[in-house]
């Protein structure tokens, strides 16, 4: 694989998720520059700290920290992690919408000003509906505006399946559609373990348990750590950016704008997509059994309701 080194990636928000993503992406050594932007001055220190790990980790990517949005100018990819996270005692991801919508407005106006052609990945929650807001506020093609959410759920489920079966996570391919939240749709039909169907590897009871644990994986972390996870989200962001930079055409489950896909149109929801140098190269339509179709319709109903809330907040 030829590595293109002239890539510039900007990450807005240098909190837990943003700075983890910057480190894990820098470690891949596939871009020239990573710009971290935040409203707090400590962003410079965070970038400096990551740079100082480059000798031990062996990467040449330069990480720049700034409070000046102009630094994102002409980025190839921009990742938004600026947003309030869930904390212990706080409510669901959906309750973050109003506050994170205000941040999204600032972020999008700066992207439009300095780097309108970038591929934009939104991570801030509630990710499905907020990514729709990004699409509307940026006015860019939907193939260039998408989210990160399902990949994290797939990664969480793969860890649980691996623990149960002893199969390496590298040989487990999980498919999760729907929302990054309570209405996620775990596809038993399309999840493969060592190229075999999930039901041929573990009992129905265990599958049910894994689905439940995956659904509440994020809340479990919040109750254990007092805040939401950031290493795994950072790693998933780095994987998505890598797929774009190296044009890998891998399939990831992510929030994307559906336009007739799976029978839905006009909102963002988690679906499998092919990621490459142009962003979303294609949405993959898998034939779903009746129970998964029904679960997806519940997820779609949930997102559609939140989309009307976004229209009001705009
Ligand atoms: P955090 O509080 O650690 O970091 C957020 C950062 O955003 C802070 O440093 C803050 O100063 C910065 N910020 C706020 N307003 C800004 C602005 N206008 N411009 C630039 N920076 C700004 O939170 P976190 O744990 O890093 O989580 C960030 C977001 O990601 C949250 O909304 C969280 O719910 C979400 N998240 C999503 C996933 C997912 O799978 N999609 C996973 C984990 C977290």
In DSSP notation, 185-221 reads: EE-TTT-EETTEEGGGTS-HHHHHHHHHHHHTHHHHH
Given a contact cutoff of 8 angstroms between Cβ atoms, the answer to whether 129 and 311 are in contact is no
Task: Give the rounded percent of residues in the chain with a pLDDT score beyond 70.
Answer: 98
CA of 32 to the centre of ligand 1 (A): 24
Separation of alpha carbons 76 and 199, rounded Å: 41
Atom of ligand 1 nearest to the CA of 106: 18
Give the pLDDT band (50/70/90) at residue 35.
very high
pLDDT tens digits, 242-275: 999 999 999 999 999 999 999 999 999 999 999 9
Whether 180 is a known active-site residue: answer yes
Q: Which two tokens stand for residue 164?
A: 């149960």
Separation of alpha carbons 1 and 245, rounded Å: 11
- pLDDT value of residue 1: 47
CA of 1 to the centre of ligand 1 (A): 33
- pLDDT value of residue 175: 98
Give the pTM.
0.96
Atom of ligand 1 nearest to the CA of 122: 41
The catalytic position among 180, 208, 261, 302 is 180
What are the sequence ranges of the domains in the chain? 8-148, 150-313
CA of 53 to the centre of ligand 1 (A): 23
H/E run at residue 272: strand 265-276
Domains 8-148 and 150-313 share a fold: no
pLDDT tens digits, 150-200: 999 999 999 999 999 999 999 999 999 999 988 999 999 999 999 999 989
CATH number for domain 8-148, candidates 3.30.70.1060, 3.40.50.720, 3.30.465.10, 3.40.50.11740: 3.40.50.720
**Which one of 123, 133, 226 would you pick to mutate in the ligand 1 pocket, going by the greatest count of ligand atoms within 8 A of its CB?**
123
- pLDDT value of residue 258: 97
Contacts of 161 (CB under 8 A, 6+ apart): 167, 172, 174, 191, 193, 198, 201, 202, 210
Nearest CA to ligand 1 atom 25: 16
What is the number of other CB atoms lying within 10 angstroms of the CB of residue 78? 25
pLDDT tens digits, 215-243: 988 889 999 999 999 999 999 999 999 99
pLDDT tens digits, 83-134: 999 877 777 777 889 999 999 999 999 999 999 999 999 999 999 999 999 9
CATH 3.90.110.10 fits domain 150-313: yes
Torsion (CA) 48, 50, 54, 58 in degrees, nearest 10: -170
Query: Tokens 């759920």, residue?
Result: 153
User: Per residue in 17-30, is it b (16+ CB within 10 Å) or e — as a string?
Assistant: bbbbbbbbbbbbeb
């Amino acid at each position: 694989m030829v590595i293109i080194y002239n890539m510039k990636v900007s990450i807005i928000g240098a909190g837990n998720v943003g700075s983890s993503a910057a480190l894990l992406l820098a470690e891949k050594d596939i871009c020239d520059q990573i710009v971290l932007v935040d409203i707090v001055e400590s962003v410079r220190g965070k970038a400096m700290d990551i740079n100082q790990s480059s000798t031990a980790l062996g990467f040449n990517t330069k990480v720049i920290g700034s409070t000046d949005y102009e630094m994102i100018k002409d980025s190839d990819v921009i990742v938004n992690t600026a947003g309030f996270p869930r904390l212990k005692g706080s409510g669901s991801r959906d309750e973050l919408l109003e506050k994170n919508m205000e941040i999204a407005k600032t972020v999008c106006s700066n992207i439009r000003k300095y780097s309108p052609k970038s591929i934009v990945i939104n991570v801030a929650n509630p990710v499905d509906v907020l990514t729709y807001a990004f699409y509307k506020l940026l006015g860019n093609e939907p193939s260039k505006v998408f989210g990160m959410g399902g990949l994290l759920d797939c990664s969480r489920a793969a860890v649980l399946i691996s623990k149960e079966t002893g199969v390496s996570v590298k040989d487990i391919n999980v498919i999760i559609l729907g929302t990054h939240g309570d209405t996620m749709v775990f596809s038993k039909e399309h999840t493969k373990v060592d190229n075999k169907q999930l039901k041929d590897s573990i009992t129905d009871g265990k599958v049910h348990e894994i689905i439940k644990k995956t659904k509440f994986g994020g809340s479990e972390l919040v109750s254990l750590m007092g805040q939401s996870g950031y290493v795994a989200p950072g790693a998933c962001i780095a994987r998505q950016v890598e797929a774009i930079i190296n044009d890998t055409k891998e399939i990831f489950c992510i929030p994307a704008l559906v336009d007739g896909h799976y029978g839905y149109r006009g909102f963002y929801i988690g679906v499998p997509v092919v990621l490459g140098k142009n962003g979303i190269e294609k949405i993959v339509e898998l034939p779903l059994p009746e129970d998964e179709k029904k679960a997806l319709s519940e997820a779609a109903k949930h997102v559609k309701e939140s989309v009307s809330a976004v229209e009001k907040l705009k």
